[in-house]
Amino acid sequence: MKERFVEIPPLYADFKPGGVPGSRLRKLPLGLDEYEALRLVDYLGLEHREAAVEMEISRPTFTRLLEKARNKLSRFLVEGRHLIIGGGQVHFRDNMIKCQDCGHMFKTNMGGPLPEELTSCPSCGSSKLVDLAGGFGHGQCCRKHEEQRGSEEK
């Protein structure tokens, strides 16, 4: 399967109906590429053609991906499943870093400073930072891809 591109990691990746223990619910995985398709069209309002360009996939592939994502989201709402976002053949273009103390979030470019080089929150100075791309098992692979992409564009 061809790799797809996601702008930034999701800020939240685990959803379930209130008042029901997660252990009693059937899990429903939503791929990072499916999340991105929903974000681009239903949240940002892009046309399928524009969104496909953003993800670097064909428009027909994008449309099938979006239909699959919408079906899963409907099942989550109607059946009361445990929706978990993650997985898939993706690279993040940018990353989000979250401060565990004050909740401040800031965006970093995958071609910019490594998360371990970011030692403190620009808002409160705390050193308790969470790398959201790293939470999905990404970072180095995405960084290498962005470096290669940058050198090809020059």
In 3D space, the residue among 109, 104, 138 whose CA is nearest the CA of residue 120 turns out to be: 104
Neighbours of 38 (CB within 10 A): 19
CA pair distance 3, 12, nearest whole angstrom: 22
Domain(s) labelled CATH 2.20.28.10 in the chain stretch across: 93-153
Contact 54, 5 (CB under 8 A): yes
CA terminus-to-terminus distance, the chain: 28
CATH 2.20.28.10 fits 93-153, yes or no: yes
Model pTM? 0.85
So what's the pLDDT on residue 22? 87
Q: Which CATH class is domain 4-85?
A: mainly alpha
So what's the pLDDT on residue 122? 86
Residues in CB range of 77: below 8 A, 6 or more apart: none
Percent helix, percent strand, percent coil in the chain, to nearest 5: 40, 20, 40
pLDDT per residue of the chain (154 residues) written in tens, 0 to 9: 688 999 999 999 999 999 999 899 999 999 999 999 999 999 999 999 999 999 999 999 999 999 999 999 999 999 999 999 999 889 898 888 899 999 999 888 876 655 556 788 888 999 999 888 888 887 667 766 666 665 566 5
Domain(s) labelled CATH 1.10.10.10 in the chain stretch across: 4-85
So what's the pLDDT on residue 2? 81
The encoded tokens of residue 106 equal: 């800031």
